[in-house]
């Protein structure tokens, strides 16, 4: 993933309404949601929602598909996975973590208890 795409995606999510919209679409899964359903669910005016959906679509985080008279918006799961992969690509000083809990332990362990060679599996 290119750095400019990461910045665009993070900028799009750095707004409370857009973050709520994106999370709702993630929860909805591959079925997605219509703008009307999102408006009802999030209590966001339709005109405001349209602007936020446009920004999320422009950032590649959301896709849009026409189904008859309705638009269906879906979270772009592949883009989301690539974004998360980019952000965590060099976690734990480049060492693989045994499990997610190990990474959390590594991040919260005092520096004096961390070993430099393999911080995630030995702290």
Tell me the pLDDT tens digit for each residue of 1-10.
Answer: 899 999 999 9
Tell me the pLDDT tens digit for each residue of 64-118.
Answer: 999 899 999 999 999 999 999 999 887 777 676 655 555 445 444 444 444 444 4
Helix pair 3-13, 46-58: axis angle to 10 deg: 160
CATH number attached to the domain at 3-80: 1.10.10.10
> 28: which residues sit within 8 A by CB, 6+ positions away?
74, 75
Average pLDDT of the chain? 83
Q: What are phi and psi of 101, to 5 degrees?
A: -65, -35
Strand partners, 63: 74
The pTM of this model reads 0.74
Q: Which of 89, 107, 77, 95 is nearest to 3 (CA)?
A: 89
Q: Which of 25, 6, 2, 3 is nearest to 83 (CA)?
A: 6
Tell me the pLDDT tens digit for each residue of 16-75.
Answer: 999 999 999 999 999 999 999 999 999 999 999 999 999 999 999 999 999 899 999 999
Helix (H) or strand (E) holding 63, with range, is strand 62-67
Domain parsing of the chain, residue ranges = 3-80, 92-122
């Amino acid at each position: 993933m290119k750095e400019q795409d990461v910045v665009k995606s993070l900028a799009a999510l750095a707004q409370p309404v857009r973050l709520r919209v994106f999370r709702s679409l993630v929860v909805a899964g591959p079925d997605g949601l219509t703008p009307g359903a999102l408006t009802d669910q999030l209590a966001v005016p339709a005109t405001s929602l349209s602007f936020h959906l446009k920004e999320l679509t422009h950032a590649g985080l959301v896709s849009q598909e026409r189904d008859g008279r309705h638009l269906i918006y879906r979270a772009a799961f592949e883009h989301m996975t690539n974004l998360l992969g980019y952000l965590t690509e060099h976690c734990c000083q480049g060492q693989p973590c045994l499990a997610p809990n190990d990474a959390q332990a590594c991040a919260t362990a005092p520096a004096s208890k961390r070993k430099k060679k393999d911080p995630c599996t030995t702290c």
